[in-house]
């Protein structure tokens, strides 16, 4: 198998197959395809069932090779039946000899013999990437793959994996020798040692770490570490998070993402699904499943795509600043995302429509591949034409109810509010969030009325919607904004603090750190 940048190039077998298909026409489309090699979960929260849901939610076709059938529900695993290795081999052959599989994702591999047939199949039918989720124990504590599996994992599976995604317990088991992983520093060291066993990338998941307010995962590419933070979500509905993360990585790789983007998108996907599903009730046990399609909460379908936590670090672009610092909008957006921006708004007051549309399309692509929403300021036409995630409007722009009727139920709409009345109206009109300011004086927007921290507090208290603060906010005063301690104040929106700066990446990182620290202090 040959390496090409992020993941491998198309195997010769795929090219040969498509070339020989008698029905191939110019208009036929290649569909990104994953096969999951895992166990069936009768409760459908994890395993094969979760994998198929994730891939479908991410627009990727998912075939399935079943290694074991579990009798399982929200209380735990009642029974496990292993499939004979020969039959797993038959399934692998059926799928890999026919479908044009891009990525193989593994979950429960319950016996060394099953790992052996998988490795045999991979050598006969090479694929672009192998994602290994080294499942060993279920959420409820049931052993799904015992210690007999460890030597074949270490010696034969890990060396051919593109990425492995162990949690801290699985990482410790793979490393052996009584290794304990209880801190982020120990996760880093474990990621490095696991990388030495052969996989090209390692993601050690820290969801089970004791005493941390954030959920921190450590990603290692052999040279650099990345710490991926997300807020810890309190819910019983966490069954299947590991399968979901690994399958989402596989789906993004199948679509052509590089590994780091795939991992970031997958982490955000899991966070959004957990957050959205935190109060749904399925089953009577303590390991509830979550909703991969963000659709089961019927009460308000419209809010399904919007995660209010995305307002945490809201980057608003400015054409004058980009010109001044001689950078394109696209470069500005890339740097902001890399530095930790959790949502982007293109506020290009002076741009020509045609040029703006082209830039907006490029930004949509970048944001989508990073799992970050992109909104357009004022211009509903541009948002529609580039299929942005939504629009931000002010009190003198197009009214929110009209924007909603034009954009439809799934897009995100933000509206600027300086008063309690405006906040009530925003809710009635169908907005998703409120931008409230100017919290401090600003040079970015002419003649802007400053409402101060007290004004912001009033709007937050009056609003049923999540709020993002805006106006004159930067590293030096962001903490004072978050300290007003209103539960629906989700973050800060900034223009000059990121974009009227020499290095957008550095400023975004610093501001993200400041916001994280102030959030931690409040918890
Ligand atoms: C997040 C956010 N909040 C407020 C605004 C201001 O919008 P508006 O009042 O329409 O002013 P302009 O940005 O159009 O000058 C915003 N853009 N973003
Ligand atoms: C676009 C905008 N809207 C505001 C409002 O009060 O609604 S203040 C503002 C400008 C924010 O820029 P900076 O972060 O550079 O101060
Ligand atoms: Mg406006």
Q: Is 392 in the pocket of ligand 1 (CB under 6 A)?
A: yes
Q: What pLDDT shows up at residue 489?
A: 97
CA atoms within 13 A on the CB side of 252: 24
Tokens 């015992």 belong to: 146
422 lines ligand 2 (CB under 6 A): no
**Exposure on the CB side of residue 26, measured as CA atoms within 13 A:** 0
Residues of the chain under the 50 pLDDT cut: 1-6, 10-24, 299-304
**Tokens 């090479």, located at residue:** 126
Which of 383, 392, 423, 494 for a ligand 1 pocket mutation test, highest count of atoms within 8 Å of Cβ? 392
Distance (Å) from CA 522 to ligand 1 centroid: 28
Angle 437-491-265 (CA atoms, 0-180°, nearest 5)? 135
- Residue 470 in contact with ligand 2 by CB distance below 6 A: yes
Phi-psi label, residue 47: left if phi above 0, alpha if psi -120 to 50, beta otherwise: left
Residue 69 CA to residue 296 CA, distance in Å, equals 26
Cβ–ligand 1 contact at 379 (below 6 Å): no
Please provide the DSSP assignment of 243-311 as one string.
HHHHHHHHHHHHHT--HHHHHHHHHHHHHHHHHHTTT---SSSS-----TTS---GGGGGGGG--GGGG
State the sign of the Cα–Cα–Cα–Cα dihedral 94, 99, 102, 105: negative
- Cα gap 37→107, rounded to integer Å: 6
- Cβ atoms within 10 Å of 355's Cβ, excluding its own: 11
Which positions are catalytic? 205, 238, 240-243
Is residue 490 lining ligand 1, measured as CB closer than 6 Å?
no
Residue 18, pLDDT score: 44
Residue of the CA atom closest to atom 3 of ligand 1: 435
What is the maximum alpha-carbon separation in the chain? Answer: 74
Distance from C-alpha of 255 to C-alpha of 198, rounded to nearest angstrom: 24
Q: Identify the residue whose C-alpha is closest to ligand 1 atom 15.
A: 445
Interval between CA 437 and ligand 3 midpoint (Å): 13
Ligand at minimal distance from the CA of 439 is 2
The finding on whether 437 has its CB within 6 A of some atom of ligand 2 is: yes
> Does the beta carbon of 473 sit less than 6 angstroms from any atom of ligand 2?
yes
The 8-class DSSP code of residue 359 comes to: H
Using alpha carbons only, how large is the chain's radius of gyration in Å?
24
DSSP H helical ranges for 370-451: 380-386, 400-407, 420-429
Record the pTM. 0.58
N- to C-terminal Cα separation, the chain: 48
Whole-angstrom distance, CA of residue 492 vs CA of residue 470:
6
CB 414 within 8 A of CB 388: no
Residue 494 belongs to what H/E stretch? strand 489-494
Q: Is 472 in the pocket of ligand 2 (CB under 6 A)?
A: yes
Q: Ligand 2 pocket check: which of 317, 444, 456, 500 to mutate, most ligand atoms within 8 Å of Cβ?
A: 444
Which ligand gives the minimal distance to the CA of 444? 2
Indicate the top mutation candidate among 437, 456, 476 to test ligand 2's pocket, ranked by most ligand atoms within 8 A of CB. Answer: 437
Please report the pLDDT score of residue 500 as a whole number.
Answer: 97
Cβ 400 vs Cβ 430: under 8 Å: yes
Is any ligand 1 atom within 6 A of the Cβ of residue 493?
A: yes
Distance (Å) from CA 470 to ligand 2 centroid: 5
Q: Looking at ligand 2, which atom is closest to the CA of residue 439?
A: 6
pLDDT value for 118: 98
SS3 per residue for 436-476: EECCCCCCCCCCCCCCHHHHHHHHHHHCCCCEEEECCCCCC
Position 272 scores a pLDDT of: 83
Q: Is the CB–ligand 2 distance for residue 442 below 6 Å? A: yes
Span from the CA of 421 to the centroid of ligand 3 (angstroms): 18
Which ligand number lies closest to the CA of residue 375?
1
Quote the pLDDT of residue 432: 92
Residue from 317, 470, 476, 511 to probe ligand 2 pocket by mutation (most atoms less than 8 Å from CB):
470
Q: How many Å lie between the centroid of ligand 3 and the Cα of residue 394?
A: 4
């Amino acid at each position: 198998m040959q390496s090409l940048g992020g993941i491998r190039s198309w195997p010769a077998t795929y090219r040969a197959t498509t070339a020989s298909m008698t029905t191939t026409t110019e208009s036929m489309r290649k569909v990104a395809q994953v096969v999951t090699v895992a166990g069936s979960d009768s409760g459908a929260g994890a395993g094969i069932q979760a994998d198929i849901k994730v891939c479908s939610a991410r627009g990727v076709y998912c075939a399935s090779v079943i290694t074991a059938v579990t009798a399982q529900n929200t209380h735990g695993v009642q029974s496990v039946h292993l499939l004979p290795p020969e039959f797993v081999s038959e399934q692998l052959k059926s799928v890999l000899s026919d479908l044009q599989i891009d990525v193989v994702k593994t979950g429960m591999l319950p016996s060394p013999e099953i790992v052996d047939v998988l490795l045999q199949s991979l050598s006969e039918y090479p694929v672009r990437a192998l994602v290994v989720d080294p499942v060993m124990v279920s959420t409820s504590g049931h052993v799904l793959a015992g210690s007999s599996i460890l030597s074949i994992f270490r010696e034969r599976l890990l060396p051919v994996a593109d990425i492995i995604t162990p949690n801290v317990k699985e990482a410790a088991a793979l490393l052996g020798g009584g290794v304990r992983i209880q801190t982020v520093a120990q996760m880093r060291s474990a990621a490095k040692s696991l990388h030495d066993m052969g996989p090209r990338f390692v993601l050690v998941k820290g969801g089970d770490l004791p005493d941390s307010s954030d959920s921190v995962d450590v990603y290692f590419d052999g040279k650099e570490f990345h710490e991926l933070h997300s807020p810890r979500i309190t819910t019983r509905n966490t069954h299947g998070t590991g399968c979901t993360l690994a399958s989402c990585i596989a789906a993004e790789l199948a679509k052509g993402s590089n590994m780091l983007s795939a991992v970031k998108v997958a982490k955000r996907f899991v966070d959004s699904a957990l957050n959205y599903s935190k109060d749904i009730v399925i089953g009577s046990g303590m390991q509830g499943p979550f909703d991969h399609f963000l659709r089961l909460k019927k009460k308000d379908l419209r809010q399904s795509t919007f995660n209010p936590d995305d307002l945490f670090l809201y980057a608003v672009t400015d054409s004058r600043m980009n010109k001044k610092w001689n950078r394109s909008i696209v470069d500005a957006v890339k740097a902001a995302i890399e530095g930790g921006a959790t949502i982007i708004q293109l506020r290009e007051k002076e741009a020509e429509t045609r040029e703006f549309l082209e830039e907006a399309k490029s930004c949509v692509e970048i944001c989508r591949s990073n799992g970050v929403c992109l909104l357009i300021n004022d211009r509903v036409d541009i948002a529609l034409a580039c299929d942005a995630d939504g629009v931000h409007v002010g009190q003198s722009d197009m009214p929110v109810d009209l924007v909603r009727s034009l954009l439809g139920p799934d897009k995100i709409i933000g509206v600027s509010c300086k008063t309690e009345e405006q906040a009530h109206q925003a809710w009635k009109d169908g907005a998703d969030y409120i931008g409230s300011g100017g919290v401090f004086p600003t040079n970015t927007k002419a003649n802007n009325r400053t409402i101060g921290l007290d004004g912001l507090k009033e709007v937050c208290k009056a609003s049923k919607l999540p709020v993002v603060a805006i106006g004159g906010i930067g590293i030096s005063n962001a903490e004072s904004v978050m300290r007003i301690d209103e539960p629906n104040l989700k973050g800060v929106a900034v223009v000059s603090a990121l974009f009227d700066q020499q290095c957008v990446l550095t400023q975004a990182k610093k501001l993200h750190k400041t916001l994280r620290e102030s959030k931690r202090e409040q918890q």
